[in-house]
Amino acid sequence: MQKVILGMTISLDGFVNDRNGNVGRLYPDLEALRKTSSLQQAIKTTGAVVMGRRAYEMADDPDSYAGNYEFQVPIFVLAHKLPKNHPKETDTLKFTFETGNIGGALEKAREAAGDRNVFVVGGASVAQQCLNSGLIDEILLGIMPVLFGEGLKLFERIDAEKMHLEKMKVLESTNGRTEIKLQVIK
């Protein structure tokens, strides 16, 4: 059965980036992280990815997604405006830029994913929209033992009273990272 899974890494104090928008301290172990069983499982079961424009722009060269990004599946980017140049694609990795709402982007991603999962990777605004709209089935939350003090908080502007979560699994991962898998109870 297809699920929509939110996958994010946060600092110990709940931020998805620091005050300058930098995420480097959350991913000092990116190469090792790519080899973890949880990410390998996510790659195997994911049929489409949804991300925000800022997450998309984190790549120095958007053409680098083709052949290099963990998820070589259709990617749906929620953006207010289209990029100047469409990024390079492969037979399996195709980009769709959705200028509507998160519901429209997820609907297209679900269709493209078939019976596989849709993985929502960020940023904070996209995650918050998905959570507040009740569109997320599971959360795979990486927590790095760093403190930012300021930046974008993942769980800011969330209707917490409507959000009910159940712990499914806790894993020690790479470089001090702890992963928590949560089910969103609907």
pLDDT one-digit tens code per residue, 118-167: 999 988 999 999 999 999 999 999 999 999 999 999 999 998 888 999 99
pLDDT at position 30, please?
A: 80
For the record, the structure tokens of 50 come out as 């949804």
pLDDT at position 162, please?
A: 86
Sign of CA dihedral 127, 132, 137, 140: positive
Spatial neighbors of 103 by CB under 8 A, at least 6 apart, are 133, 135
pLDDT at position 51, please?
A: 97
Under-70 pLDDT residues of the chain: none
pLDDT at position 122, please?
A: 81
Q: Which domain holds residue 25?
A: 4-184
Q: Assign residue 163 the CATH number of its domain.
A: 3.40.430.10
Question: For the whole model, what pTM was predicted?
Answer: 0.94
pLDDT at position 104, please?
A: 93
Q: How many domains does the chain have?
A: 1
